[in-house]
Amino acid sequence: MLASNPVRTFPVKSLLAAFRDWMRHRRLISQCRERLDACDQNEIARIAHDVGLSPEDLCRLSHLGPDAAELLLERMHALHLDTDAIAKHDPSTMRDLQRLCSSCMAKGRCQRDLLLTPDDPKWRQYCPNADTLDALRSESANIR
């Protein structure tokens, strides 16, 4: 008797929803680029100053899209860090965390680790924010 080889099928609706989400994400990135491209250098410099970035970082990050640092928020949640409190009390640290996360090359690995084993410390090996997140965690523990 031959062993059965189950074929995994996906409903068409989920494929369509995934494609629609991907298109929506691409559209958001495109809108970010268009808005910044419409600005002159002085306006870009002013915006960059307002958010605490260099004009070069602002332009680079605008090409990554508005949710480029979404995994940071998930990691901080997994570490029981209050993102709102950190953003309010130390906006420059939060900005640096977001900037590093946005340009990180290990997003796929991070996403997989957050999904499968969020408590496994292996993320510290590849995360450019590991030291800062550990320091924030220590600070948070000392405040309690």
Backbone phi, then psi, for 43, in 5-degree steps? Answer: -65, -40
At 14 the pLDDT is: 77
Distance CA 107, CA 103 (A): 9
Answering whether pTM is above 0.85, one says no
Q: Domain boundaries in the chain?
A: 15-67, 68-144
Distance CA 69, CA 74 (A): 9
Q: Are 124 and 130 in contact (CB under 8 A)?
A: yes
Whose structure tokens read 């924030």? 136
Per-residue pLDDT reduced to its tens digit, 74-127: 999 999 999 999 999 999 899 899 989 988 999 999 999 999 999 899 999 999
Q: Give the residue among 90, 104, 97, 96 at the shortest CA–CA distance from 53.
A: 96
Structure tokens at 51: 């958010």
Torsion-angle region of residue 26: left (phi > 0), alpha (psi -120 to 50) or beta? alpha
Per-residue pLDDT reduced to its tens digit, 31-81: 878 888 899 999 999 988 887 888 988 888 777 777 788 999 999 999 999
